Amino acid sequence: MGESLVEAVRQALRSVRDPLSGRDVVEAGLVQGLAARDGLVQFAVAVPRERAREMEPLRQAAEKAAAGVPGVLSVTAVLTAHREPPGPKPGGTGRAGPPPAGHGHAHPPKAPPGQGQRSPTGQGPMLLPEVGKIVAVASGKGGVGKSTTAVNLAVALAAQGLAVGLLDADIHGPSLPQMLGAREKPRTEGDRIIPLQRWGLKAMSIGFLVDEETPMIWRGPMVMGALEQLMGQVAWGKLDVMVVDMPPGTGDAQLTMSQRVPLAGAVIVSTPQDVALLDARRGVKMFERVNVPVLGLIENMSYFCCPNCNHRADVFGHGGARAEAEKTGVEFLGELPLKLEIRQLADAGTPIVAARPETEEAKAYRRIAARLWDKLQGAGAAAPRIFVE
């Protein structure tokens, strides 16, 4: 059924014309990663990077054509930018390659002081030019509470009067809809997506755009294209800081972020046991190799706190992240317990920093956020003062 549905969708897409070449999108080679499973269809439409914004109607037309195929229950189509080789195509009739640096935009967006106009790899203008500081919250492996940490740090920063954005960069396993208690689809204005607002944050996730149970069966180029859309097509506006919840590991998303936005730094989240610390060490080395400063390590699930008697037990050991921070020469930002209330509130879409600000755990998140903001401002910089009770 899957293969026959893929072929039926491919035939339906032949009715959609590429306005640049005049050919149908299949013949023009614009359809990539077409896959179908249980009636769920996904594919990318590859377009020239400098014309991606004006090609949104083409994406919509392709999505509509695929949705009309019998047996299709849901369609997810994304634009993914590609570069054509410079010069004319063989035969002299093809489209020219992308314009050189400095061209292709009548009025390129002005970057804040200290942010370059173009990515260091030459892959077009740097994204998120109106964001003051961009911080990646990362982990070497999954299951260490990275997303919970990212959400609570973002809420803690927003509670101090900062304009904060929260970007879910985990395309395959988005968790922000659950953790923020946001299920509605974002609205659009023209070709711009308006981020949802929760707990004083502007937030965006691929999970807001697709059905909750839709699996993202995408390869690297599609993942990178979707991530670039979440950064470049969303109307983030001016922000003091953006917290990016990264997927675990050291793969495509990490490279895309380091190449396409001016990351101010990364925070590594780990649990105390040796296997997690080994992966955290890889995360530190990865960011160092792409010239992104590591702002510090956080030890999550540092100890278990009994909800009945408050007895403390070091289930996964204790102090491993602090020792690792000393070994790798980065700052240890703090520790957070393995506590039932943190998990329950996260599952309910109410981060503990917002729902239980008087708890010791919420205060710990705020202390880490305060230190993080101080580091982002730099020595001697005039920054809003963050008070932690």
* Residue numbers belonging to the annotated binding site: 140-147
Q: Which residue type sits at 8?
A: A
- List binding-site positions for ATP: 140-147
d(CA 266, CA 280): 12
CB 145 within 8 A of CB 301: yes
**Which residue reads 């020219």 in tokens?**
96
CB 136 within 8 A of CB 244: yes
User: Regarding beta strands 239-245 and 164-168, do their DSSP bridges make them parallel or antiparallel, or are they unpaired?
Assistant: parallel
Please say whether the dihedral angle defined by the alpha carbons of residues 96, 99, 105 and 107, taken in this order, is positive or negative: negative
Please say whether the dihedral angle defined by the alpha carbons of residues 263, 264, 269 and 275, taken in this order, is positive or negative: positive
Phi and psi torsions of 376, nearest 5°: -65, -35
User: Going by C-beta distance under 8 Å and a sequence separation of 6 or more, which residues neighbour residue 105?
Assistant: 50, 125
d(CA 336, CA 361): 7
User: Regarding beta strands 192-193 and 188-189, do their DSSP bridges make them parallel or antiparallel, or are they unpaired?
Assistant: antiparallel
Helix (H) or strand (E) holding 276: helix 274-289
Which two tokens mark 212? 């909750």
d(CA 157, CA 152): 9
The separation between the first and the last C-alpha atoms of the chain, rounded to the nearest angstrom, is: 60
Which two tokens mark 211? 């059905």
